[in-house]
A and B are shown apart, each in its own frame.
Chain A
Amino acid sequence: MSRSIPRPSLPALEQKATWLSLLLLAVSLHVFEAALPSLGPWFKPGLANIATLLALVLLGPSAAAMLAVWRVIVGSFLIGTLLTPTFIISLAGGVAAAIAMLAAWRLLPGITLIGVSLIGALAHMTAQFVTVESLFIHQQALYYLLPPLLLLSVVTGWINGGLAAYIVSQLEESD
C-alpha cells in the first residue's frame, strides 16, 4: 500500500539546482553590497543583478523574475531590513528591473546582456525614486537627484552586463 513519491527528472533537478545556486550568489552579492561602505547616497553598484542576468540566459524569463524577488526577500531578511522602507524600495527596484530586462530581452532585436543590464539598472533606479516619492517623501524635488544617479547607473549597468556576458561565455566553454 506504500505510495511511491514521483521523482523529478534529472534536467528538472539540474534546473532547480542552478536556480538555487544563482539565488545563493545573488543573496551573497546583496549582503556584500549592503556591507560595502556607501558609494554615495542612494547608490549601489548593482552586482546582485548579475545573477538575474545569468538566470535570464540560463533558465529563462520566469526563473529570472522569481530570482529577482526572492533575492530581495532573503537578502533583506539576512541584513535585517525585511518589511522596512529599505525592503520596499529594494523590492520595487528589483521587480521593475526584472520586468524591464525581460521586456528588453524579448522585444529588442540584437540586444546583448550589456544592453539588458543597462536597461535594468535604469529601471531599478527610476523605480526606487518613484517608490520613495509616492510612499515616503511626497516631494517632486526629490527627482532633482535622479539624473546624476542615472548616469552612474548607466556605467554600472554596462559593466555588470559585460561581467555577466563573460561568465556566460565561460560557462558555455566549460560545458
Chain B
Amino acid sequence: MVTLASENGSGQKLWCGLWRWLKGSWTDRTVLLISLAGILYAWQWIHAEAGAGPAMVEIYHDKVLLARYPFPEPGKSIHFDAEGELGISGILIDSEGVHFSSSPCRTQYCVLNGRHSKGGEVIACVPNRILIAIKGSHINGSHYDAIVE
C-alpha cells in the first residue's frame, strides 16, 4: 500500500510538472484559440472548394495541367507517366485512389506518401515538380462520410 501511495504521489507530481510547463499563459491560450479557429475555418473552406462534384484526379507539372482523369471502375486502372524536371514520375490511378508508383527523385517521399482518394487531397513531388490533386468527393458515384452513405 505504501508503494502504491508513493507511485501515485510521483505520478501526480509528474502530471503537475507537465501541466506546469505546458499550460502557457492566457496570451498563449488566446493565440492557440485564434490559430485553431483560423485553421479549422480554412480547412472547411478548402473542403467546400475542392469537394463538390465527382472525384477527378488532376496531374500538373508546374502550371501545366498534364492530365485529368475520373477514378476508374473497380478492377481497372490507369497508368500515367508525367514528365518533370528530373525525369518521369509514374502515377497509378485505380478505384481505391491515386499514388506515385515511381519517381526519379532522391528522397522518394512522394512514393512513400501512398494512396489518396479524398477530395482536397494532394500529393506533390517537389524535386520533379509534379503535383497530383484530387478535386470533388464522389468516387464511382458513392459518397461516404464518417457516419452515413
Contacts and interface: CB of A to CB of B under 8 A. Distances in A.
Interface of A: 38, 41, 85, 89, 104, 108-112, 114-115, 118-119, 122, 132, 136-139, 141-148, 150-151, 154, 158-159, 161-163, 165-166
A118 B28 contact: yes
A118 B35 contact: yes
Interface string B22-55: 1011111001100110011011001000100000
30 contacts: A38-B109, A38-B112, A41-B109, A85-B126, A110-B27, A111-B25, A112-B25, A112-B27, A112-B28, A114-B25, A115-B28, A115-B32, A118-B35, A132-B126, A137-B126, A139-B62, A141-B131, A141-B133, A141-B135, A144-B50, A145-B121, A145-B122, A147-B40, A150-B35, A151-B36, A154-B36, A154-B39, A159-B22, A162-B24, A163-B21
Given A114-B25, A143-B46, 10 more contacts: A38-B109, A115-B25, A118-B28, A118-B32, A136-B126, A137-B62, A137-B126, A138-B62, A144-B50, A147-B39
Most buried by B among A109, A119, A147, A162: A147
B46 A144 contact: yes
Contacts of B60: 137, 139, 141
Contacts of B63: 138-139
Contacts of A115: 24-25, 27-28, 31-32
A114 B120 CA distance: 31
A104 B35 CA distance: 14
Given A108-B27, A141-B131, A141-B133, A154 B43 contact: no
B88 interface: no
Contacts of A38: 109, 112
B22 A158 contact: yes
Interface in B92-120: 109-110, 112-113, 120
A136 B28 CA distance: 34
Interface size class of B (residues with CB under 8 A): 35 or more
Contacts of A143: 46
Given A38-B112, A111-B31, A136 B129 contact: yes
Most buried by B among A110, A137, A146: A137
A154 B24 CA distance: 13
Nearest to A141: B133
Contacts of A118: 28, 31-32, 35
B28 A114 contact: yes
A138 B60 CA distance: 9
A111 B129 contact: no
In the complex, the 5 A-B pairs of residues with the closest C-beta atoms, listed nearest first: A115-B28, A147-B43, A141-B133, A110-B27, A114-B24
B127 interface: yes
Nearest to A104: B31
B120 to A, nearest CB: 5
B91 interface: no
Most buried by A among B26, B32, B58, B126: B126
